[in-house]
Structure 1
Amino acid sequence: MGNKFFNSRLFYVLASVFFAIILFFNANATSIRNETGNNSAGEVYTATINNVPIELKYDTTNYFVSGYTSTATVHLSGYNRLSITNEENVDTRKFYLSMDLSKYKVGKVDVPVRIESLPSAVTATISPKTMNVTIEKKASEEFEVTPKVDPTQLPTGFTIATQSVNDQTVKVTAGKESITQIAAIVAALPSDVTLTDNYAGTVTLHAVDSTGKILPAQISPATTHLKVLVNKLTKKVPIELKTTGTLDKSLSEMKTKLSADTVTISGEESSLDAITKIPANISVTGVTKETKVKVPLSASGVTLDPKEIEVTLIPVKK
């Protein structure tokens, strides 16, 4: 009886159904492993994204907000590596950060930083989670622009001749209370510049209080062109001409005539003190008739006026 069952058509049908079910579940398991990046061990993928911009939601027409940083750090984690990679890339990123200030009143408040539109396969934490924000009624006013040079940016012995800016006045927008603390709008010489020569360039404008502390404000325009002319330390030194090369056999000597015997050098006091003359070399090789030659002048750590002289070579026959 038992052998008849195993040889029956019903047995083969049941066996076929059994193996089909096994193959189905095996295929689904393979598909799931592929979809999760072959993450068979349940590995968690992580990423840290710095400087993610924060969108502020508030009535920009009537209020001014300060005291916050415009970016935050986001730590991502998830089992799907592709989802993490997409959120890392700013071009494929779906999430964004926001702070909703619309329900708060004027004053200092702690506001949570929220993450929006984060894919369900990804979890995230934000640093910082909250920010202390100052909310004020908005106010606008015209201010004069003041050029500024820190004394430490002038070498010893140098003085400022003139300083000027292209924009004499600018429009400043800030909080109603904060704007009363503004003592000046400064166009400061960049901190990495030392005035060994005149300066001209575009600088960022800042609102400062009476102590020089930078205050939060929107300035229009935000930059201006700053020009600073300096009085340099100068001194005159002689030019020492030296002839090089081979004198032609038909000549007894080579006379020289310089367009200038001295040069004015300018620079820091220590550099000027180290220089007592400016060397100038000129070759007489192949010169058999009167010749005028431009000779460049140079010296370390200073500027020269003129930067070149004209030397006349005058051959003297035997």
Structure 2
Amino acid sequence: MDKYTNSAWFMRIVAFALAALLFISINFEMESDKKSLGLSTAPEISTETIENVPVEVYYDRENLVVSGVPETVDVTLKGAKSLLINAKNQRDFKVYVDLSDPEISMGNRTVTFKISDLNERLVATIDPEYAEVNVQERVTKEFPVEAEYNNSLLEEGYTADQPTVSPKTVKITGAKDTIDQISYVKANLEISKGLNETVNGKATVKALDRDLNKLDVTIEPASVAVSLKVSIPSKTVSITPKQTGKAKDGIRIKSISVDPNEVTLFGSETSLGKISEVNLPVNISKIDGDTDMELDLTKPESVQKMSLGKAKVKIRTEKVDVDADEANVDPVEEEKKPETEQKQEEKVVDKDEPAAIESKTFSNIKIVPVGMKDDQDAELETDVTSITLLGEADDLKKITKDDINLTVDVSNLDEGTHDVELVVNAPQGVTWELDSKTASVTITQKDEET
């Protein structure tokens, strides 16, 4: 035994065996530690799909236009899971199409997608693998812009002028084939409510083909200023006072005037064409003397609005004597009587006492126009006439020329010459006959400087 233990080879063999045991022991402990920590000596291979990865296109942007390249693609990566997670989170790789060759030909071509800046230990698959693209010469042309709006939003009675744009033209850049398809360049003014006033705003410019499809081009400027002038037709008409009711006993209406005597109406052309005046009813039944009042104007149904809501009315009167049993004849009501009725009143003669009936004629009785508007003049062809009174002798003796008033109502007359019926105001108990029952009156507008 001592012989073997003292041998050099024995010692060598023992040392090698101890070294082998030591290596196996240490390696076993390391593997145990790795497993306890969840580590593996071999990497775990996995796949990950990254969606909507942007695509970059390299080409001569100053002279070419490229279409047909999708904006994004999906990339599927395969490799160690730790590398996949990092690539997905960082997205530090790029997907691109290279059309930078200066000798590239125009027209349609098939190109494949490429990927760069990806970890070399990852394998990438791109979906789709390729794209059908079109390469065209880049063209810039100037086009006029046409503004448009929804005219159904115009409120009733309102009209709109042709909208104007600023600037009037824009520069459009795109593929030559696309530029050649442009049929319309429009700027649509967005309006969300009824139109009853002028609108100013910004509108986005669009290039459209003949079928009104939007074209993929670049427009400079992308928006323009649009102005749409909205207005409503107007018409100025006279305000005509209309007497209503009957004057009190002993009161005679000499004139009724309105201030202002005109009003501006707003509405459609058709509606305004049917209106020549606005009537203002004036109730005279409670008038005791000269009166100034303010009355409301009634807006015609077909009119959208009026420039005035009220008007001032001046009523001028005079006192007259009345019979105890019969009120004085109202001149307006007298004018409205049928001619046959007036004739009967004029010719009433007491047949039972013919000897007591006499006649008395007055010449050059002044004819006075009443109801004249402030901005008008009235000229009578003949401003005097004769009247013959019929009645009892005692009554006629008391009547003088001053007791007789002849008037013509010009309140409803427009410019021009008119034959107007005379209104007679004479003492009670007599009838009359006129040389002429009408007077020729010419109405003219006053000079503004007057």
Which category describes the TM-score, using the shorter chain as reference length?
0.5 to 0.7
Cα distance, 1:146 vs structure 2: 2.9
1:94 to 1:26, Cα distance in 2 relative to 1, 3 A:
farther
Q: Is the contact between residue 153 and residue 194 of structure 2 (CA under 8 Å) also seen in structure 1?
A: no
Distance 2:200 2:36 in 1: 63
Query: What letter corresponds to residue 75 of structure 1 in structure 2?
Result: T
The number of aligned residues is: 221
Distance 1:170 1:32 in 2: 71
> What is the DSSP-based 3-state SS (H/G/I as helix, E as strand, rest coil) of the residue aligned with 1:44?
strand
| Aligned pairs (5 A) from 1:1-318 | 10-20=13-23, 23=26, 27=30, 42=44, 44-50=46-52, 52-81=53-82, 83-89=83-89, 92-101=90-99, 102=101, 104-149=104-149, 161=160, 163=163, 165-188=165-188, 195-196=192-193, 204-224=204-224
Distance 1:129 1:107 in 2: 20
> What is the DSSP-based 3-state SS (H/G/I as helix, E as strand, rest coil) of the residue aligned with 1:138?
strand
1:41 to 1:98, Cα distance in 2 relative to 1, 3 A:
closer
Distance 1:24 1:137 in 2: 69
Q: Is the contact between residue 49 and residue 77 of structure 2 (CA under 8 Å) also seen in structure 1?
A: yes
Query: Which runs of 5 or more structure 1 residues have no equivalent in the other structure?
Result: 232-318
Cα distance, 1:60 vs structure 2: 1.9
Query: What letter corresponds to residue 17 of structure 2 in structure 1?
Result: L
Deviations 1:29-85 (A, max 9, x none): 977998x986978351413221x222212222222222332222222332223x223
- The two structures have a TM-score, normalised by structure 2, of 0.40
Q: Is the contact between residue 63 and residue 175 of structure 1 (CA under 8 Å) also seen in structure 2?
A: yes
CA root-mean-square deviation = 4.4
1:41 to 1:107, Cα distance in 2 relative to 1, 3 A:
closer
Cα distance, 1:179 vs structure 2: 1.2
Query: What letter corresponds to residue 14 of structure 1 in structure 2?
Result: A
Distance 2:214 2:128 in 1: 23
Q: Is the contact between residue 95 and residue 113 of structure 2 (CA under 8 Å) also seen in structure 1?
A: yes
- The two structures have a TM-score, normalised by structure 1, of 0.54
Query: Which runs of 5 or more structure 2 residues have no equivalent in the other structure?
Result: 232-450
Cα distance, 1:135 vs structure 2: 0.9
- Which structure is larger by alpha-carbon Rg, 1 or 2? 2
1:144 to 1:67, Cα distance in 2 relative to 1, 3 A:
farther
Deviations 1:118-176 (A, max 9, x none): 2123222222221111111121111223334578xx66978994655554322111122
Cα distance, 1:23 vs structure 2: 3.4
Q: Which has the higher contact order (CA 8 A, sep 6+)?
A: 1
> What is the DSSP-based 3-state SS (H/G/I as helix, E as strand, rest coil) of the residue aligned with 1:105?
coil
Q: Is the contact between residue 47 and residue 76 of structure 2 (CA under 8 Å) also seen in structure 1?
A: no
Identity of aligned residues (%): 26
* Structure 2 residue aligned with 1:284: none
Distance 1:203 1:38 in 2: 64
Q: Is the contact between residue 150 and residue 191 of structure 2 (CA under 8 Å) also seen in structure 1?
A: no
1:24 to 1:224, Cα distance in 2 relative to 1, 3 A:
farther
Deviations 1:222-244 (A, max 9, x none): 3445677889xxxxxxxxxxxxx
Q: Is the contact between residue 44 and residue 81 of structure 2 (CA under 8 Å) also seen in structure 1?
A: no
